[in-house]
Amino acid sequence: MSVRIDWDKLAQLLDDEDKSFEKFCFHIAIHKFGECGTVSYFYNTPGSEFYIELNKPIEYAGINFSIGDVIGWQAKYWKAVKDKENSPLDANHISEIVNGIPLLKNFKLLRMIVYLNHGIKTSLNIFI
């Protein structure tokens, strides 16, 4: 089932749109992974907004994870100017994600999930 979200509604909340989007993504992560460990949230932490250290083995996106493995998330709320259906994933935004990768070594991260507020026209695969 596909759900269409009106991201403009974030502007009506008390926090700014970026922080509201991060909180929304945090709740998605808790819903999807909360039974697998504690999802820890650190607003605007360089490299990862939130992460989970697994307390049981899981399979996600075709990858098997073990107890103690860490999955992290980035939440990027980028407004598209020309095409509201697609995120402006340009060289600057890709650099922002890539430049955060070295900061993730403190978390012993095995996989980073990037949430965007729009679809993207290109795929982004970065291997550490």
Instruction: Say if 46 falls within a structural domain.
Output: yes
Q: Is residue 90 part of a domain?
A: yes
Q: Is 113 in a helix, a strand, or coil?
A: strand
Q: Look up the pTM and report it.
A: 0.73
pLDDT in tens, 27-47: 889 999 999 998 887 755 666
- Whether 127 has a pLDDT exceeding 50, the answer reads no
The predicted pLDDT at position 83 comes to 58
Nearest to 74 by CA among 126, 122, 34: 126
Domain count, the chain: 1
Could you report the per-residue pLDDT of 75-124, keeping only the tens digit for each?
888 776 665 555 566 777 778 777 777 776 666 777 777 777 766 555 55
Instruction: Note whether residue 3 is domain-resident.
Output: no
Segments forming the whole domain that contains residue 81: 13-116
- Are 76 and 97 in contact by the 8 Å Cβ rule? The answer is yes
How far is residue 72 from each of residues 1, 15, 48, 89, 91, measured CA to CA in Å? 25, 23, 6, 20, 22
125 inside domain: no
**Any domain includes 38:** yes
Domain assignment present for 103: yes
Q: Is residue 98 part of a domain?
A: yes
In a domain, 8, yes or no: no
